[in-house]
Structure 1
């Protein structure tokens, strides 16, 4: 099983962030775009991909698997609901790596049946970014998932801060993901460097 590119995994909402955080040293970034017209969406993804290539970033596109195939994106990340409509055979044939969100044992079983390249577990702590059907899982659930999935890469997400990042790595996560802790901070580039120092020590 291929290791993840880095122990930090920022999730961003525009191509500009791929440029900024990639320039600061992030090498594994998810581009999550919502509510955009098709032409604008594709243009934003292409720009994000260009920035990713410029900085040596492994780019992950959230949801839009068909565009990921068209544009040659490195990874696609799918939620459980996305699995209902995604063409997993086409994704595999296109050589794109696959990450899948999980929140409970049933979802983990479903994700594993898709032979993903990583699974994400969340929310580890409470998050206010979006309404979640599942409550905080806590770091101990990461340890449980680690035992269940063996060597498959594991991503922790949800309510993770700089101060909490190392606890997730210790509990079994291969990478820690966050949105607000990177792009909603006064010094996002500084956050990238601080997180890298925290989890790679």
Structure 2
């Protein structure tokens, strides 16, 4: 896959936003995010038909900007909507099983150890998400920070395979993450809580290896 897709990878659910979620996504798309992942999890998350309708609206917005639309964890919804891809964690559906169901789709996998990384590569992942790089407030069940040292070690181990860093990433530290080996940065709070989303995304896009 094209690593440029991972450059500024926006992850959002309705619970993450300080203002209207669709407005937040629209502003992020206008500013130039390169990928969008819908992660609707946690207390108060949308469910059922309301969740599906919200996902469809997000997907149409992404299509208008030619930005890949990725669904977090929900295999059934990803297939139903014919999403561009799915991102799964270590606790989600077996990677190999989904890979068979979703030929031609982008599949991302969260990894927190060398062993998990090897499993992801062997079973058909297109990219891996390494983190949390820093302490994060976006996931209540987040693992301890992996740090830049782990990111550097994984880059050395897997060569040019696509990597996106996630967890506590901001405009101020995005460059450190890229210089440590990530092809891009996955961001939740720094965009969702921004008072000027357009400028925040532009600043994230300006950071280069």
Do Structure 1 and Structure 2 share a fold, with TM-score over 0.5?
A: yes
- Of 146-155 and 116-125, deviating more is 146-155
Deviation at 1:132, TM superposition (A): 4.0
Secondary structure at the counterpart of residue 155 of structure 2: helix
CA distances 1:43-81 after superposition (whole Å, capped 9, x unpaired): 011100100011121111111122111212112100111
State the partner residue of 1:106: 115
Matching residue within 32, 35, 41 for 2:39: 32
Equivalent-residue separation in structure 2 for 1:4 and 1:98 (angstroms): 15
Q: Contact (CA 8 Å) 2:71, 2:86: kept in 1 or not? A: yes
State the partner residue of 1:53: 63
Matching residue within 153, 175, 192 for 2:201: 192
Q: Does 1:171 align with 2:180?
A: yes
In the superposition, the TM-score normalised over structure 2's length comes to: 0.87
Deviation at 1:12, TM superposition (A): 1.2
How does 1:71-86 map onto structure 2 within 5 Å? 71-84=81-94
- Of 160-169 and 12-21, deviating more is 12-21
Deviation at 1:6, TM superposition (A): 4.2
State the partner residue of 1:161: 170
Equivalent-residue separation in structure 2 for 1:66 and 1:132 (angstroms): 23
Equivalent-residue separation in structure 2 for 1:72 and 1:146 (angstroms): 31
Matching residue within 120, 126, 130 for 2:139: 130
* CA shift in 2, pair 1:56/1:87, >3 Å: closer
* CA shift in 2, pair 1:195/1:173, >3 Å: same
Residue segments in structure 2 that go unaligned for 5+ positions in a row? 15-20
After the TM superposition, which segments of 4 or more aligned residues of structure 1 sit over 4 Å from their partners?
none
Equivalent-residue separation in structure 2 for 1:3 and 1:164 (angstroms): 20
Matching residue within 19, 24, 29 for 2:26: 19
In the superposition, the TM-score normalised over structure 1's length comes to: 0.90
- Of 41-50 and 77-86, deviating more is 77-86
Q: Does 1:87 align with 2:87?
A: no
Deviation at 1:137, TM superposition (A): 1.4
Deviation at 1:28, TM superposition (A): 1.0
CA RMSD of aligned residues (A): 1.8
Secondary structure at the counterpart of residue 25 of structure 2: helix
* CA shift in 2, pair 1:18/1:133, >3 Å: closer
Equivalent-residue separation in structure 2 for 1:199 and 1:28 (angstroms): 17
